[in-house]
Chains A and B, each alone.
Chain A
Amino acid sequence: DAKTTQPNSMESNEEEPVHLPCNHSTISGTDYIHWYRQLPSQGPEYVIHGLTSNVNNRMASLAIAEDRKSSTLILHRATLRDAAVYYCILRDYNTNAGKSTFGDGTTLTVKP
Chain B
Amino acid sequence: DAGVIQSPRHEVTEMGQEVTLRCKPISGHDYLFWYRQTMMRGLELLIYFNNNVPIDDSGMPEDRFSAKMPNASFSTLKIQPSEPRDSAVYFCASSPDRPNSPLHFGNGTRLTVT
Q: What is the interface of chain A mostly: helix, strand, loop, or mixed? A: loop
Contact B108 A93 (CB under 8 A): no
Number of interface residues of A (CB under 8 A): 24
Q: Which of B13-21, B67-75, B79-87, B98-106 contacts its partner?
A: B98-106
Instruction: For B102, give its contact among A34, A43, A87 (CB under 8 Å).
Output: A34
0/1 per residue, A35-48, Cβ < 8 Å to B? Answer: 01000001111100
Instruction: For B50, give its contact among A46, A92, A98 (CB under 8 Å).
Output: A98
Contact A49 B102 (CB under 8 A): yes
Known: A44-B43, A98-B55, A99-B56. A91 touches B99 (CB 8 A): yes
Q: What is the interface of chain B mostly: helix, strand, loop, or mixed? A: strand
Most buried by A among B45, B91, B100, B102: B102
Instruction: For B31, give its contact among A34, A92, A98 (CB under 8 Å).
Output: A98
B102 CB to closest chain A CB (Å) equals: 4
> Is A101 engaged at the interface, CB distance under 8 Å to the other chain?
yes
Interface residues of B (CB under 8 A from A): 4, 31, 33, 35, 42-43, 45, 48, 50, 55-56, 91, 93, 95, 97-100, 102-108
**New A-B pairs, 15, CB < 8 Å, besides A45-B105, A51-B100:** A34-B102, A36-B102, A42-B107, A43-B107, A44-B103, A87-B43, A91-B100, A92-B99, A96-B56, A97-B99, A98-B48, A98-B55, A99-B56, A100-B33, A105-B42
Interface residues of A (CB under 8 A from B): 32, 34, 36, 42-46, 49, 51, 87, 91-93, 96-105
